[in-house]
Amino acid sequence: MLTDHSDTEQQNVAIECGADALLLQPVDFSHLLFVIKQKTLQARTTSHAKRYLNYSLRELEFQNIALNEHAISSTTDISGRITSINRKFCEVSGYNESELLGKSSYS
């Protein structure tokens, strides 16, 4: 955001409203160039991070599918109550999900 307000309160309002960068007039060309480069780098980094996160989530999904196809899996809360089970767990145990969820894994 480019402004001629030198009042810091006005600047804070602009930042709270979503301004990424605040440049005061008159603008020093080298500072403007620096801000543009920083914002470009930040956008590129964010884009790469989002792509990597999406890739990681897909890989995790594939691993979860493979685990559920070949292994018996369940999770419990800290007190030992069953919070989730996979299909294979139900097949092997002979119970359906509603009969197991919330039950103690110790009984």
Cβ neighbours of residue 56 closer than 8 Å, sequence gap 6 or more: none
Q: Is residue 79 part of a domain?
A: yes
Is the pLDDT at 66 greater than 80? The verdict is yes
Q: Is residue 94 part of a domain?
A: yes
Q: Is residue 103 part of a domain?
A: yes
The SS3 assignment for 82 reads strand
Mean pLDDT score of the chain: 87
Q: How many domains does the chain have?
A: 1
Task: Give me the domain span that covers residue 90.
Answer: 72-107
Q: Is residue 52 part of a domain?
A: no
Q: Rounded to an integer, what is the distance from CA 55 to the centroid of its chain?
A: 13
How many whole angstroms separate alpha carbon 88 and alpha carbon 78? Answer: 23
Token pair of 35 as six digits: 């801000």
Q: What is the pLDDT of residue 2?
A: 64
Give the range among 2-6, 69-73, 91-95 with minimum mean pLDDT.
2-6
Is the pLDDT at 4 greater than 70? The verdict is no
Q: Is residue 59 part of a domain?
A: no
Provide the strand spans (E) within 1-86: 2-3, 23-24, 74-76, 82-85
The most confident of 7-16, 44-53, 62-71, 89-98, by mean pLDDT? 44-53
Token pair of 107 as six digits: 């009984």
Q: Is residue 97 part of a domain?
A: yes
20-37 per-position pLDDT tens digit: 777 777 878 888 888 889
